[in-house]
Structure 1
Amino acid sequence: MKYGRTYNFSAGPAMMPEPVLEEIAAEMMNYRGSGMCVMEMSHRSKVFQQIRDEAEADLRKLMGIPDNYKVLFIQGGGTVQFAMVAM
């Protein structure tokens, strides 16, 4: 590894491949020519909507989620998931 990184084998977040991190770093200041970072843009913008649509398509393909199921992107992890069951 050219960055002298530490191997992370924990149950939570794990190491990401260096090429992925390099792509993220390159797009941090100007995501795909949008002029801003993903964290700066509106969740209603066309650029962000493309990110969301691509993420949903990838997730559906990876997990075999049928079209008659909704995919929700929410914050909070497992804790919120359990609270949402009653909702």
Structure 2
Amino acid sequence: MAAQVAQERVINFSAGPAVLPVPVLERVRDEMLCLPGAGASILEISHRSSDFIAVQNQAEARLRRLIGVGDEHEILFLQGGARLQFSMIPINLLRGRSQAAQYVLTGTWGKTALEEAKKEGPVEVIFDAKPSN
């Protein structure tokens, strides 16, 4: 079955979720019904439970090792994607400040980020590629 699935898989270059290796999907499938030791699926247990916290701590430790981030930095697992970051960044770094955030507009994503930032404080466009696009 794995060979058939691997043969049917597409190559995905979209900005959204990435294609995962078949062995990863198989493990997720197997543990989706019952997280080992929990007696329930990860989808069915509380995010405050010791089983969920253990999964989260293991994921954080593995990510720290993979990307070389020490304990002096926090790792946050957040919902949302790029569009959510367009609002979270100015909410946390721009709100209530008088100094303008500087933006480089190179296309759709830059324009989207700028529009979100305008909701939180002053902005300045320091380069706009539109005239040259």
- TM-score by length of structure 1 reads 0.83
Paired residue total: 87
Shift of 1:44: 0.4
Separation (CA, whole Å) in 1 of partners of 2:32 and 2:44: 10
More strand by share: 2
Gaps of 5+ in 1: none
Distance verdict in 2 for CA 1:77–1:14, change over 3 Å? closer
- TM-score by length of structure 2 reads 0.58
Post-superposition Cα deviations, 1:23-82, rounded to whole Å, max 9, x if no partner, equal 112112111131111111110011110111111111111111121111111111122222
Higher-RCO chain (CA-CA 8 Å, sequence separation at least 6)? 2
Please list, as runs of the form range in 1=range in 2, the aligned pairs for 1:1-87 lying within 5 A after superposition: 1-3=3-5, 4-11=7-14, 12-85=16-89, 86-87=91-92
Indicate the percent of aligned positions where both proteins have the same amino acid. 39
Structure exhibiting the larger radius of gyration computed from Cα positions: 2
Root mean square deviation of aligned Cα: 1.7
